Structure 1
């Protein structure tokens, strides 16, 4: 089927990238702030994995409904809507500091963040060439993870006590809304979007879907439980914000390499390679006896964990017409969300064991590595091209 002519005109990535940058700073700070601020609000610290899981449950539910909203109101207004919903969820946590309210607020926040991800990813991926898609997704990931790393650094000056940190998050999200409010041109044509049918979903790349699933299994615990793990280690506690920033900084720094390699190597092989190196980083955390060693190990773990999603999503979209990109990003986010829901709960079972979360992350990376290497060998024997993955 021929692609609609409306997509031949390039859309403008400025509004989503600027808005995403402010969103990422706010979100990065908030993800670490929530588990660290539980005691200040007289909430049980055992609530942390449940807050992480219900957030990702909201992400999962949101991933099944976002496409209809984008089709109805367009990318720009959908971006504004989801950012506004996220602000309300943050303010609700301040207004009602109890377990039930926080669980509901984080569920709503998950839906809102799903909307932000699908809107921005599909907005940027709606371009004509694989090379352009890889470049734009690299810009997206750099903005997302760079902002998240900066957000971690706010833990030191702002702390985790009282209302001020949460008001700071809300203010940043207000700045994020200004970009789509003020930049009114350049969004993709909303009336041209098409849904993937069940048969097409079944034919989507299995390594791409598993890559998104593994990304969720890794990043859910990294965001939701890693701050608590670092703070519980006597030799690391004073560097909690810094080490979390290092993890996410690794995710930002690896994006140019991901963009470069994803059009040159078979993508299943590339994901397997990152998983192997990431597992080495996790082992390095356990073996490091200096701060420099810890920083390098956390940097490697972060780089490799955050590399999977952009490779997987470009693999899924490589052979699709642009009109179906929104639907594809929704399916990939759904896979990511399933992993993110179960990741914190699975790793929480190991949290009582020394270094349990680190062993969990290493196990996920090694398992995914084995699968990706097997698929890569299968693809090579089947004669598939490197770019197609």
Structure 2
């Protein structure tokens, strides 16, 4: 029926990308700011992995129910609502600075960020072809990681103590609200979104689901634990900010390559190759004897870790009809969130070594590399050509 057709010709990229860019700068700074600022608020540093995990638990819970909210109020209004909720959690953290309040606030923040991700990803993925989706997702990831890298650079000049850094984050989030608040056109017509059935979820690509899961297992510790680990490696906070920015800059710079290769190469093979180079980057970090080698290794680690999610989500959406894109992105975000919740906790218990988090990242990358290579070989042995979507 004509009523069930989702219109995409007026689906503009300006509002989601502009809002996301400011959000990414704020979020990038905030993710490193929280673990580094605990002492200035009298909160014990042992809360670092718990604050990271509970944030991703909120992300996980949010990923299970965002689709119905977007269907009721639309992409633009949902974007405004979720950004407003995120702002309110920071205000509560500043008003009542104690461990319990911060844990609750970060849980709610995770829910809000899940909403932001589902809104923006589905907004951009509602395109007419797989090639256009890859390009739009590349733009999304470049804006997200580029903004996050800029946010990391604020650690040095802005500082990590007291209220002022958090006020800067609030200012950036308020700027993020302006594009969807002022531009009322350009959102996709999504009144007829359909929920994926359980049987359809079971048929989604397993490498796609695992790719999103592993992306969470990697990025949860990278955001939540690496700032503290890097601080123990370097001489001053500015270097911590530079190395964190380098990680995310690597994730941003690799996105054009992902967009170019994704429609042309087997996606499971592509994920295997990125995991292989990521494992080599971990070896470089452990063996580095100079800041330059360390920075290059961290950049490669970031490029490989941040490449997995866009490859996996486009793999999942390649065979999905337009009206089920929101639901599919919700499932992929759910997989990512499960990994993000488990990642920081697994990383801290992986070994007793001071390099525990790095060993953990190397283990995840190596095992995922082997799995993706096996899946690629299986495609060949079963007579299927490893074309895009494999």
**What TM-score do the two structures reach when normalised by structure 1?**
0.98
For 1:74-95, what per-residue CA distance to the aligned partner results, in whole angstroms no more than 9, with x for missing partners?
Answer: 0000000000000001111111
1:388 matched residue in structure 2: 389
Question: Alignment length, in residue pairs?
Answer: 389
2:183 matched residue in structure 1: 183
Deviation at 1:218, TM superposition (A): 0.1
Deviation at 1:190, TM superposition (A): 2.5
Instruction: Report the secondary structure of 2:191's partner residue.
Output: helix
**CA–CA distance in structure 1, aligned partners of residues 56 and 374 of structure 2:** 29
For 1:262-315, what per-residue CA distance to the aligned partner results, in whole angstroms no more than 9, with x for missing partners?
Answer: 011000000000000000001100111111101110000000000000000000
**CA–CA distance in structure 2, aligned partners of residues 189 and 74 of structure 1:** 8
Instruction: State how 1:6-17 maps to structure 2 within 5 Å.
Output: 6-17=6-17
**CA–CA distance in structure 2, aligned partners of residues 370 and 3 of structure 1:** 46
2:91 matched residue in structure 1: 91
**CA–CA distance in structure 2, aligned partners of residues 267 and 3 of structure 1:** 34
Structure 2 unaligned blocks of 5 or more: none
CA contact (8 A) 2:8 2:189 kept: no
For 1:213-260, what per-residue CA distance to the aligned partner results, in whole angstroms no more than 9, with x for missing partners?
Answer: 000000000000000000112457651000000000000000000000
**CA–CA distance in structure 2, aligned partners of residues 305 and 350 of structure 1:** 19
CA contact (8 A) 2:155 2:238 kept: no
CA contact (8 A) 1:212 1:308 kept: yes
CA contact (8 A) 1:7 1:322 kept: no
1:66 matched residue in structure 2: 66
Whether 1:220 aligns to 2:238 is: no
Deviation at 1:38, TM superposition (A): 0.5
Whether 1:278 aligns to 2:278 is: yes
Deviation at 1:385, TM superposition (A): 4.5
1:358 matched residue in structure 2: 358
CA contact (8 A) 2:272 2:372 kept: yes
Over 4 Å off, 4+ runs: 234-238
Instruction: Report the secondary structure of 1:7's partner residue.
Output: coil
1:51 matched residue in structure 2: 51
For 1:167-217, what per-residue CA distance to the aligned partner results, in whole angstroms no more than 9, with x for missing partners?
Answer: 110110000000101111111112121110000000000000000000000
Structure 1 unaligned blocks of 5 or more: none
**CA–CA distance in structure 2, aligned partners of residues 162 and 235 of structure 1:** 22
Instruction: Report the secondary structure of 2:119's partner residue.
Output: helix
Deviation at 1:353, TM superposition (A): 1.2
**CA–CA distance in structure 1, aligned partners of residues 51 and 6 of structure 2:** 42
For 1:121-150, what per-residue CA distance to the aligned partner results, in whole angstroms no more than 9, with x for missing partners?
Answer: 000000010000000000000000000000
1:164 matched residue in structure 2: 164
Change (3 A) 1:3 1:261: farther
**CA–CA distance in structure 1, aligned partners of residues 13 and 259 of structure 2:** 17
**CA–CA distance in structure 1, aligned partners of residues 328 and 371 of structure 2:** 22
CA contact (8 A) 2:25 2:149 kept: yes
* RMSD of aligned residue pairs (Cα, Å): 1.4
**CA–CA distance in structure 1, aligned partners of residues 334 and 144 of structure 2:** 19
Instruction: Report the secondary structure of 2:185's partner residue.
Output: coil
Change (3 A) 1:135 1:43: same
**CA–CA distance in structure 1, aligned partners of residues 10 and 279 of structure 2:** 39
